[in-house]
């Protein structure tokens, strides 16, 4: 009996123990440092806090990058009044992407920072960097002093180059000086140049502006007269000088951009001036119908930019400069023409309904002058047009028109241009009307195809 009571009591005690067992609760024993939850405040340092997720393979690099970006954002970058960036943005709406790139370049150039602490949880990795404000100022001042020395050296080389008329080298050196200072385009630091306190960056930009705006281009003759006697060609003499110390310097090897309207579209040429600051260009095959009809000559700034430089940044900067240019009106004097025509419709003479009337009207509209005496003419135009019978079908009659023409030089009697139109078809209720119909159809074709060909053949 006692044994039974003890066994029952033991079983009861065991069953009661199972009811009181509880599942342990996981406790986060990883304590976050205070700098993770609350940003440290210190007057002597810039602070950067960054985090990376551990599910990324580059978690350490990500945390560091984010921390340094955070640190860089604490470094105040403001565009000072009267600085180059301030001037460009206000006067020319300098592209924001370039402005932003220069302003925030310090993100990529941080030096002297140190790792203060790091911390990680099962899913995150945190880093804490700081940079002494005094050390940052020291490093920046040292780098700026080196850059200023480089820029001043480039500027001196530019002065020496322009003194010899070498604008190409002068522009290149001033541009390189300005690019060397690009991290400081938003600042307005004063330096001493030639005994005067100036803002170096603004002075370099002003030098570039003077180099381009000071160029004076000349085109001789001042009007480009094209005529039949000259074969509708004319050579122009271009010259480039720059005033310096009350004298003019011939600009050597200066790239020029030349353009004018041609019969096949805009004609573009590139020329470099010679040792005397001159270049020659032949104007020919000009579109007589173009408006405006002129020769444009300007400084080719793109050719002054070194191929290895940042083309996007430099292009935007150079686009703010004054580009010197010169223009010359193109005058075209069309030849005087004596026209002899013979036109017949199935053997009968044709008068006002002929092709010759349309040719005369079209040429006159394009500046050709018609004369009555051979001695007054530059060109002799012979035009023949005759229709011939085709066939008849179901009461409809067909005729075909053949047109030929030739322009000859009056003095040499040589053929200058010739052509024709064969088999222009006309259909009507009888042969005579069919022939007249072929003349009617030929006229718009002559205006559209033959007359432009005639005009283009002479220039």
Question: CATH number of the domain that 81 lies in?
Answer: 3.10.28.20
- The encoded tokens of residue 443 equal 């006229």
pTM over 0.75: no
Q: 21 pLDDT band (50/70/90 cuts)?
A: very low
What is the mean pLDDT of the segment spanning 388-395? 94
- Does the pLDDT of residue 134 top 70, yes or no? yes
**Could you give the C-alpha distances from 454 to 72, 299, 379, 406, 439, in angstroms and in order?**
71, 36, 12, 9, 20
Closest CA relative to residue 219, chosen from 247, 248, 240, 233: 240
In tens, the pLDDT along 249-303 reads 999 999 999 999 998 899 999 999 999 999 999 999 898 888 899 999 999 999 9
Q: 447 pLDDT band (50/70/90 cuts)?
A: confident
What is the mean pLDDT of the segment spanning 205-225? 94
Whether residues 232 and 279 fall in one domain: yes
Mean pLDDT over all residues of the chain? 86
Three-class DSSP category at 320: coil
Question: Comparing 123-127, 299-303, 310-314, 448-452, which segment has the lowest mean pLDDT?
Answer: 448-452
Whether residues 270 and 344 fall in one domain: no
What is the mean pLDDT of the segment spanning 106-115? 75
Residue 210 domain flag: no
Whether residues 279 and 377 fall in one domain: no
Whether residues 327 and 349 fall in one domain: no
CB 48 within 8 A of CB 113: yes
- Does the pLDDT of residue 92 top 80, yes or no? no
Question: What's the pLDDT at 245?
Answer: 65
> What does the alpha-carbon distance between residue 375 and residue 47 come to, in Å, rounded to a whole number?
95
Closest CA relative to residue 209, chosen from 246, 174, 168: 174
Q: What is the CATH number of the domain that holds 405?
A: 3.30.160.150
Number of separate domains in the chain: 3
Which residue, of 92, 111, 135, is where some domain finishes? 135
Whether residues 60 and 97 fall in one domain: yes
In tens, the pLDDT along 144-170 reads 999 999 999 999 999 999 999 999 999
What is the mean pLDDT of the segment spanning 199-219? 93
Question: What's the pLDDT at 434?
Answer: 96
Sheet containing 124-132, strands listed edge to edge, beginning at the edge strand earlier in sequence? 45-53, 124-132, 114-120
Whether residues 438 and 351 fall in one domain: yes
Which residue, of 75, 103, 135, is where some domain finishes? 135
Residue 341 domain flag: yes
Residue 142 domain flag: no
- The encoded tokens of residue 257 equal 């951009």
Question: What's the pLDDT at 91?
Answer: 60
Burial of 200 from C-beta contacts in 10 A (0-12 / 13-18 / 19+)? buried
Which residue, of 135, 150, 173, is where some domain finishes? 135
Q: Which domain holds residue 373?
A: 336-456
Whether residues 51 and 120 fall in one domain: yes
Whether residues 349 and 293 fall in one domain: no
Whether residues 417 and 445 fall in one domain: yes
Q: 459 pLDDT band (50/70/90 cuts)?
A: low
Question: What's the pLDDT at 347?
Answer: 94
Question: What's the pLDDT at 280?
Answer: 98
Question: What's the pLDDT at 87?
Answer: 78
User: Which alpha helices (DSSP H) does 278-408 contain, by range?
Assistant: 311-318, 355-365
Whether residues 241 and 328 fall in one domain: yes
- Does the pLDDT of residue 343 top 80, yes or no? yes
């Amino acid at each position: 009996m006692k044994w039974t009571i003890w066994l029952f009591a033991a079983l009861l005690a065991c069953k009661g123990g199972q009811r009181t067992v509880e599942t342990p609760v996981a406790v986060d024993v990883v304590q976050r440092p205070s700098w993770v939850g609350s940003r440290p405040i210190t007057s002597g340092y810039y602070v950067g806090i960054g985090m990376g997720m551990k599910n990324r393979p580059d978690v350490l690099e990500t945390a560091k990058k984010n921390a340094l970006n955070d640190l860089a954002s604490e470094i105040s970058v403001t565009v000072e009044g009267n600085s180059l960036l301030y001037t460009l943005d206000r006067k020319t709406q300098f592209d924001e992407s370039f402005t932003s790139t220069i302003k925030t370049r310090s993100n990529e150039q941080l030096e002297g920072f140190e790792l203060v602490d790091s911390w990680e949880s099962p899913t995150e990795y945190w880093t804490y960097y700081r940079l002494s404000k005094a050390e940052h100022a020291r490093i920046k001042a040292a780098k700026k002093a080196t850059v200023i020395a480089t820029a001043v050296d480039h500027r001196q080389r530019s002065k020496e180059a322009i003194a010899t008329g070498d604008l190409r080298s002068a522009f290149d050196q001033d541009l390189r000086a300005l690019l060397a200072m690009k991290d400081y385009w938003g600042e307005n630091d004063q330096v001493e140049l030639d005994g005067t306190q100036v803002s170096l960056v603004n002075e370099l930009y002003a030098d570039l502006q003077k180099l381009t705006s000071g160029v004076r281009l000349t085109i001789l003759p001042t009007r480009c007269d094209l005529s039949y006697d000259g074969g509708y060609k004319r050579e122009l003499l271009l010259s480039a000088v720059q005033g310096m110390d009350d004298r003019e310097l011939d600009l050597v090897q200066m790239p020029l951009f030349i353009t004018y309207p041609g019969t096949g579209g805009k004609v573009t040429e590139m020329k470099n001036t010679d040792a005397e600051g001159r270049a020659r260009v032949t104007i020919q095959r000009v579109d007589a119908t173009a408006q405006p009809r002129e020769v444009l000559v300007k400084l080719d700034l793109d050719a002054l930019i070194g191929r290895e430089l940042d083309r996007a940044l430099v292009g935007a900067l150079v686009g703010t400069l004054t580009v010197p240019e010169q223009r010359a009106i193109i005058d075209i004097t069309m030849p005087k023409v004596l026209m002899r025509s013979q036109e017949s419709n199935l053997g009968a003479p044709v008068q006002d309904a002929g092709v010759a009337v349309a040719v005369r009207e079209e040429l006159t509209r394009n500046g050709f002058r018609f004369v009555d005496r051979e001695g007054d003419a530059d060109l002799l135009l012979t035009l023949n047009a005759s229709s011939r019978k085709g066939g008849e079908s179901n009461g409809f009659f067909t005729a075909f028109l053949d047109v030929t023409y030739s322009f000859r030089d009056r003095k040499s009697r040589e053929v200058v241009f010739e052509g024709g139109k064969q088999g222009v078809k006309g259909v009507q209720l009888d042969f005579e009307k069919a022939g007249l119909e072929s003349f009617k159809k030929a006229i718009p074709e002559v205006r559209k195809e033959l007359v432009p060909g005639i005009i283009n053949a002479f220039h």
